[in-house]
Amino acid sequence: MREKPKGATEFLGYETKRLHSLFTKAPSVGDFIIHPQVLEVMDSALLPWCDSYRLSTNSITAIGPQETSQMLHRGDSLYPLPHPTERNALCSVFWALTDFTESNGATRVVPGSHLWDDERVAEEHEAISVVMPKGSFGVMVGAMWHGGGTNTTSDEWRVMMLAGYSLGWLRQEQNMYLAVPPERAREMPERLARVIGYNVHKPFLGWAADIQDPYDVITGSDASLMGGEDHFAEDTGGFDQAKSVRRA
């Protein structure tokens, strides 16, 4: 992280460093991605609207001394989706790798802003800092306005790991298949590989090779989606595509 350059734009932060493609640098990051408590939250936030969710982005952000506050924004602005909506497109977890304090740039959120329409824009005075000790994690849905805080210290870095999860039928923010190629994914726990994206979303979105589940392909299985399980059956394990996927 010491060798990483600082940001070159106001949004990225002139006193902020970022580290991406974490799986190639610290494989143990996978333990955070599929942490049972995190997945329990994602199940609740995302599974009502999809058959399975995916890791959309994963990075470390280090806010340095004298950094100014980041512009407030919504994470789900990546997608042309209207607000408000009861359907979450994204849900993010931010892990505190250092203490988060008022003075070192703790992430700011605007409570209740996930319920706003697209005309209302968050203002600075509406944001509050998420103060928490090292080792904690915070959660926010994609529609919530948020941003990095101001670091008024002279020598303290505020370090965070972000893991953003999206509905399984949306394109991921980061191209996970270049970040985690098949030869690396096949060595991972199955749950992690599937969350990264080596997984088919019912009925057959994202199949590979000879209409196979991507995880089966990278692990050498010859199972076909056109064989055993009927992905076109009305009963898809409780997931109602008509209500969940197509509803605005």
152-167: pLDDT as tens digits = 999 999 999 999 999 9
- Among 54, 81, 245, 31, smallest CA distance to 165 is for 54
- Among 213, 192, 190, smallest CA distance to 201 is for 213
Each of the 248 residues of the chain gets a pLDDT tens digit; together they read: 777 888 999 899 999 999 999 998 998 999 999 999 999 999 999 999 999 999 999 999 999 999 999 999 999 999 999 999 999 999 999 999 999 999 999 999 999 999 999 999 999 999 999 999 999 999 999 999 999 999 999 999 999 999 999 999 999 999 999 999 999 999 999 999 999 999 999 998 999 998 999 999 999 987 776 654 554 444 444 445 545 554 44
Quote the pLDDT of residue 243: 52
Q: How far is it, in rounded angstroms, from Cα 52 to Cα 69?
A: 35
Structure tokens at 187: 């060595």
pLDDT digits (tens, 9 = 90+) for 122-143: 999 999 999 999 999 999 999 9
Omega cis (within 30) before 65: no
Quote the pLDDT of residue 226: 60
Contacts for 243 with CB less than 8 Å, ≥ 6 apart: none
pTM above 0.95, yes or no: no
Quote the pLDDT of residue 2: 72
What ranges do the domains of the chain cover? 16-180
Are residues 20 and 165 in contact, defined by beta-carbon separation less than 8 angstroms? no
CATH of the domain spanning 16-180: 2.60.120.620
Q: How far is it, in rounded angstroms, from Cα 5 to Cα 14?
A: 9
Quote the pLDDT of residue 227: 56
Annotate 19-37 with DSSP letters as a single string: E--HHHH-TTHHHHHT-HH
C-alpha distances (whole Å) from 108 to each of 42, 73, 180, 209, 239 are 21, 10, 31, 44, 34
